[in-house]
Amino acid sequence: MTEPVASTEPIASTNPVASVVEPPRGILPTLGALGPGIIVAGSVIGGGELINAPIQAATFGFVLLWAALLACVLKYFLQVEIGRYAILHNSTTFEALNLCPGPKIAGISWISWIYMVGYTVTQVGLVGILLAIAGLLSAMFPLGPFAEYSVTIWGILVYGLTQFLLWRSRYAGLEKIVMVLVALFSLAVIFALVLIQGTSYRIAMSDIVSGLQFSFGDQPALATVAVISMIGALGTTANELFQYPYWLLEKGFSNHIGPPGAQNRVSRAQGWIRVLRIDVGVSTLIATFITAAFFLLGAAVFFGRADVPKGIGVVNEISTIFTVTYGHGSHLLFGVGAVATLFSTLLISSAASGRMGADLLGTMGVLERSDATAVHCWQQRFHTFYLGCVFVVFLLLKGNQPPAVIVIFAQFVSGLFLTPLLMFSVGWLAFHTEKPLRMSWLSGACLVVSIVVVCGCIVAALAARFG
């Protein structure tokens, strides 16, 4: 049996020469074929899980745990279906959205244009991520005589490292980097959950049960913003749903299936769709576990306190608890895990922005998709531009705006506008996927229920706010 090999080239064409590969069998070969979902997990677990979830938990306690978990789990079916459409039709996201009903401007669907406007607004969240990384590194390593400029220096170093990695790494390289980062912050949060039980902030089962009841607590007006921002921030967010097809195509899933009419294509596609589901399932489990862990930590440590820290101060405060109880080594390990969490978001979000920009040009007909070199060059130009803008705003806002305010604002916009827009688009595409390989009636029902529930949460949150 031929083992699947990750593509190291950028997306060059929507109709490449097929390199048919049979789907893997067995646990280890299947795990070896995963990757795009890990990249998504590395992208989403940053501003949402590390900044948003603990702050909302600190404000409202355990009561909104249900919203944090729903935000992660319900998007599983959406991610599977946008992935299914991409690999069966060998289609990028902009190409797929062009098939949705409605007018086109410059050859691009109205949905894509609205989404790009919202996406551009949400990219301010990366400024908050960069501020948080620089602030955390500055707190851990204040640079001695240059302590006054420590945040700026660390911000410059992180920006430079991100640009370097993006210019040097294509898909295979990014996948390896993110796997290491995911491992680091997964170990860090497991470490934190275990250690917190040995302190006065231990988490009781009754706390968890209280958070699984559908309630907005004693502050429904404020809780609405929290719920909407968590829907936009936690689990596979709208931006990561939009970007997931890029990672699947670069991994080679569509090429492995083969073109329409290829021998045994249906059975081979069913096998790769099974791998796709596992890939999405792994990323969903990682995101859900990390989200629940940081939410519980935030509620246990900060709820009911008048001096709730903001932004990356949450991480510093939790680290301090571990330092007092267990020693300085625990503080350093937790801090390294937090840096890995935030850096993975900065790295992958910037890389995905480059792919989105090149895809937009290709869909407009400005860029020839068959020219792999040109596609890769435009990807680099776009991610360099996006990250450069983030860095400029970082220098302008440094010290004037806490990271949490910036991050949560971006996530609120995503939850209120981008998530519903993309959910309905994915739903439409799912029911227009190639018939023999379309989702089952049960998967279709789960997809519809997930869309209804997420939108219902948003409507309920708004009703609680203005009712």
By three-state DSSP, how is residue 105 classified? strand
Quote the distance between the C-alpha of residue 217 and its chain's center.
27
pLDDT in tens, 12-39: 434 444 478 888 988 888 988 888 998 8
In 3D space, the residue among 31, 24, 28 whose CA is nearest the CA of residue 4 turns out to be 24
72-81, 229-238, 296-305, 321-330: which is most confident: 72-81
In this prediction, residue 320 carries a pLDDT of 62
Q: Helix, strand or coil for residue 338?
A: helix
Q: What average pLDDT does the structure give for the chain?
A: 80
Q: With both helix axes pointing from N to C terminus, report the angle between 65-73 and 265-302 in degrees, rounded to the nearest 10.
A: 160
pLDDT digits (tens, 9 = 90+) for 441-461: 898 898 888 888 777 777 766
C-alpha–C-alpha distance, residues 238 and 419, integer Å: 5
Give the residue, 139 or 388, on which the prediction is more confident. 388
- pLDDT of residue 400 exceeding 60, the answer is no
User: How large is the average pLDDT for residues 287-305?
Assistant: 80
What's the confidence (pLDDT) of residue 272?
Answer: 93
Exposed/middle/buried for residue 79 (C-beta within 10 Å: 0-12, 13-18, 19+): buried
Name the percent of the chain lying above pLDDT 90: 17
Under the banding of pLDDT at 50, 70 and 90, the label for residue 86 is very high
pLDDT at 235: 62
Q: Would you call 108 helix, strand, or coil by DSSP? A: strand
Contact between 320 and 331 under an 8 Å Cβ cutoff? The reply is yes
Domains of the chain: 27-466 (1.20.1740)
Residues 6+ apart with CB under 8 A from 277: 80
Q: What is the mean pLDDT of residues 372-385?
A: 90
